[in-house]
Amino acid sequence: MNEEDEPGLMKNSGSDDSRLEQMRIAIDKIDKEILLKLNERASLAKQVGQLKQKLADNEKVVFYRPEREANILKAIIDKNEGSLPNEAVAQVFQQIISACRAQESPMRIAFLGPEGTFTQEAALKHFGSSVSSEPMETIDDVFSMVSSKNCDYGVVPVENSTEGIVGNTLDRLLDTKIRVCGEIKIKVTHCFLTKGDSKTSVDKIYAHQQALAQCRNWLNLNYPGVPRLATSSNAEAARLASESVSSAAVASKVAGEIYGFEKAVEGVEDESNNETRFVVLGLESIPVSGSDKTSIIVSTKNEPGALFRILEPFHLHNISLSSIETRPARDGKWSYVFFIDFEGHIDELVVQAAMKELKNRSLSITILGSYPSALTYE
């Protein structure tokens, strides 16, 4: 193939200034074509929404189809052979999907606030920016907004790669009919935010308790002896620290920008591979996408071999576990519940066979939900 035949390349003719102008004209032409196609896609999405309402026949219309969106993004990534990295391509198309989804019906998403939390970042990564994101003060509030249908979906943290589970989220899943219908993984990068001019001017440090744990060594080395105050979220830490030049916070870069911090030391976490997993809360079941994960709660007596008995069906049916956590049951009878995440969808025959066998080996099973696995970009 000649150079002039390759897409994106232009003939090497004339001066550099002339070639630059030709390239700009070509880019403008491509942008115009993209805009036309985007509006064409949005128009089709609006028609899809209208048809869904017509076919619903007075039943609730489900506009958000995570299994469909996951397959669109996966197909786009699989077809990407250009210079743009897969993650960048996915982010662009997530925003396109979000804008088109809003043409069908606007969505309200509750998240653990205030503005600037990693949970908000996760919500916008998953749903795109064409949603109304509603910050909540507590994880309990997020659950309440979803269960009362005041918000369509909620996003809450469930586990961190260095600090483990978020107990409050698991405890709420024990006593709710809300379903898990998605997962999001965010690489966590903490920033040390301050408005003071020197280390000696800092007399207190605000942060969420997990952020304090994740940055313990850095804080011990750089700010030994300075009191550390736990807050409900890292964004709340940034808000409190912004009120005094002698206060500092460990929070996200976005939170620093929201609350007017000009000085930020990035990457103060002790582990560079720090990742937090979030779950999407909803009220409906999600169909099979082809690359799914299922979350369940299993209750069992506290007796020898109990854990082995509930794990064996997964081994026998060749089902891979991705997470298992233990919590005391709330009945006070010395029984325990296991939160288990595994690969596969509850509607798949092999999973149903494993669940049938598991039911005979446990006190009870609660299916929290099946949902598309978080996208990876390798």
- Please write the tens of the pLDDT for every residue from 19-36: 899 999 999 999 999 999
What three-state secondary structure class fits 300? strand
Q: Which two tokens stand for residue 221?
A: 């080395």
Considering the domain boundaries, does residue 37 fall inside one?
Answer: yes
Amino acid identity at 246: S
Considering the domain boundaries, does residue 4 fall inside one?
Answer: no
Q: Based on the domain organization, do 181 and 195 belong to the same domain?
A: no
Q: Based on the domain organization, do 184 and 196 belong to the same domain?
A: no
Query: What is the pLDDT, as a whole number, of residue 58?
Result: 67
Place of tokens 């009919």: 177
Q: Based on the domain organization, do 121 and 175 belong to the same domain?
A: yes
Give percent of the chain above pLDDT 90.
52
Q: Which two tokens stand for residue 90?
A: 């996915």
Answer for the pair 374, 278: CB distance below 8 angstroms, yes or no: no
Banded model confidence at residue 337, pLDDT cuts 50, 70, 90: confident
178: left (phi over 0), alpha (psi -120 to 50) or beta: beta
Q: Based on the domain organization, do 196 and 183 belong to the same domain?
A: no
Active-site residues, by number, are 276, 278
**pLDDT(332) > 90:** no
Count of domains in the chain?
4
Mean pLDDT of the 214-236 span: 91
Query: What is the pLDDT, as a whole number, of residue 4?
Result: 46
- CATH number for position 126: 3.40.190.10
What three-state secondary structure class fits 65? coil
Domain-ending residue, one of 234, 266, 298: 266
- In the chain, which ranges are E strands? 108-112, 132-136, 153-160, 164-165, 179-187, 191-194, 204-208, 228-231, 247-251, 263-266, 275-282, 292-301, 321-328, 335-343, 364-372
What three-state secondary structure class fits 66? helix
Mean pLDDT of the 270-276 span: 85
Considering the domain boundaries, does residue 257 fall inside one?
Answer: yes
Query: What is the pLDDT, as a whole number, of residue 179?
Result: 93
- CATH number for position 84: 1.20.59.10
Q: Which two tokens stand for residue 77?
A: 């990534």
Q: Based on the domain organization, do 67 and 120 belong to the same domain?
A: no
Q: Which two tokens stand for residue 292?
A: 């799914």
Q: Which two tokens stand for residue 261?
A: 């911090």
Banded model confidence at residue 201, pLDDT cuts 50, 70, 90: confident
* Nearest CA among 371, 376, 343 for reference residue 74: 376
Q: Which of the listed ranges 53-62, 154-163, 301-310, 337-346 does the model predict with the highest average pLDDT?
A: 337-346
Banded model confidence at residue 9, pLDDT cuts 50, 70, 90: low
- CATH number for position 297: 3.30.70.260
Pairing state of beta strands 335-343 and 292-301? antiparallel
Domain-ending residue, one of 100, 130, 145: 100
Considering the domain boundaries, does residue 197 fall inside one?
Answer: yes
Q: Which of the listed ranges 33-42, 233-242, 250-259, 319-328 does the model predict with the highest average pLDDT?
A: 33-42
Q: Which two tokens stand for residue 348?
A: 């798949």
12: left (phi over 0), alpha (psi -120 to 50) or beta: beta
Encode burial over 144-153: b for 16+ CB neighbours within 10 A, e otherwise: bbbbeeebbb
Considering the domain boundaries, does residue 247 fall inside one?
Answer: yes
Summarised one tens digit per residue, pLDDT across range 212-223 is 988 999 999 999
Summarised one tens digit per residue, pLDDT across range 278-318 is 999 999 999 999 999 999 999 887 788 888 999 999 999 99
Considering the domain boundaries, does residue 252 fall inside one?
Answer: yes
- CA dist 122 and 145 (Å) reads 18
- CA dist 12 and 64 (Å) reads 48
Q: Based on the domain organization, do 206 and 259 belong to the same domain?
A: yes
Domain-ending residue, one of 232, 266, 300: 266
Query: What is the pLDDT, as a whole number, of residue 62?
Result: 80
What is the extent of the structural domain holding 183?
106-188+275-281
- CA dist 29 and 89 (Å) reads 20
Answer for the pair 203, 225: CB distance below 8 angstroms, yes or no: no
Considering the domain boundaries, does residue 2 fall inside one?
Answer: no
- CA dist 90 and 48 (Å) reads 22
Q: Based on the domain organization, do 26 and 82 belong to the same domain?
A: yes
Q: What is the CA radius of gyration of the chain?
A: 24
Considering the domain boundaries, does residue 9 fall inside one?
Answer: no
